[in-house]
Structure 1
Amino acid sequence: MTLPATPLQSGASGSALAVAGTFASLALFLSLTAHIAARNVLGDVPVKYAFVVGPIPAAIAVVVTTFELNSYLGVFVAIILDGVAVKYLYGQSNRLSGYITFIHVIVSIIIGTVLYALLALLSTAPV
């Protein structure tokens, strides 16, 4: 028996302002998590690099959703380009850049899960 697969995301719908707001908030979130990851691995690093790393996966997420492309391919491309940006901006070896990218993915998942759970909890609060 085959179980149906559920997509990682649904199709895009909404105004251009909604898409821009989603991109900006996702880029800011990913910039914050990129800075946390780089700081965790490298120590004291400039925050300006994180503001270049964050918008790259956010832009890929918006493009993949808008054109209804394969979600798994979008995640793969976002992680690869995130690693390339980390290598170029922080000037580290491939191995260390991959480690920073891995930490960035993990930190993003953890913080995103906590924020989603908090939002779900707040949505059930009595009025």
Structure 2
Amino acid sequence: MVVLQAGAVGSPLAIAGTVGAFALFLSVTAHIAARNVLGDVEVKKAFAVGPLPAAIAVVATAFGINSFLAIAAAVVVDAAAIGFLYGRSRKLTAYVTAIHIVVSIILGALIFSLVFLIGSAPG
């Protein structure tokens, strides 16, 4: 039996909701990245990219896996999914993956800042 972290408390529904919300976020940012690099692409392909890195992130957090290893695994899986789904060269796949990382960081920071700002409002 594997012992989870002491701080990882939540119902299965809350964990599934977290994975789902993060997968949706990563799918949206994957579509933004692919559309900016490749032009007009299908939205449904991006929805296949997001769930795997989201699952890696939640599993790594739950089992206390090193963050750098989890990020590296998520980026490798993300690049593999982008390369498989969009069928481009390795160089173009690496470029789309890099843009996906950048868009995810920027949009994530923006959303976090907005939520923090709204949460700290008086009244």
TM-score (norm 2): 0.93
Amino acid at match of 2:98: F
Amino acid at match of 1:125: A
Amino acid at match of 1:95: K
Q: Are 2:108 and 1:112 equivalent residues in the alignment? A: yes
Q: Are 2:97 and 1:101 equivalent residues in the alignment? A: yes
**Cα separation, 2, equivalents of 1:59 and 1:123:** 27
Amino acid at match of 2:63: F
Query: How far did residue 12 of structure 1 move?
Result: 2.2
Amino acid at match of 1:26: F
Deviation sequence 1:10-68 (CA, Å, 0-9, x none): 95221111100000000000000000000000000000010000111001001101111
Amino acid at match of 2:12: A
Q: Are 2:15 and 1:28 equivalent residues in the alignment? A: no
* Alignment-derived partner of residue 66 in structure 1: 62
- In structure 2, list runs of 5 or more residues that go unmatched: 1-5
**Cα separation, 2, equivalents of 1:86 and 1:11:** 33
TM-score (norm 1): 0.90
Amino acid at match of 2:92: L
* Alignment-derived partner of residue 3 in structure 1: none
Identity %: 57
- In structure 1, list runs of 5 or more residues that go unmatched: 1-9
**Cα separation, 1, equivalents of 2:79 and 2:49:** 9
**Cα separation, 2, equivalents of 1:80 and 1:110:** 20
Q: Give the RMSD, CA atoms, in angstroms.
A: 1.1
CA contact (8 A) 1:83 1:97 kept: yes
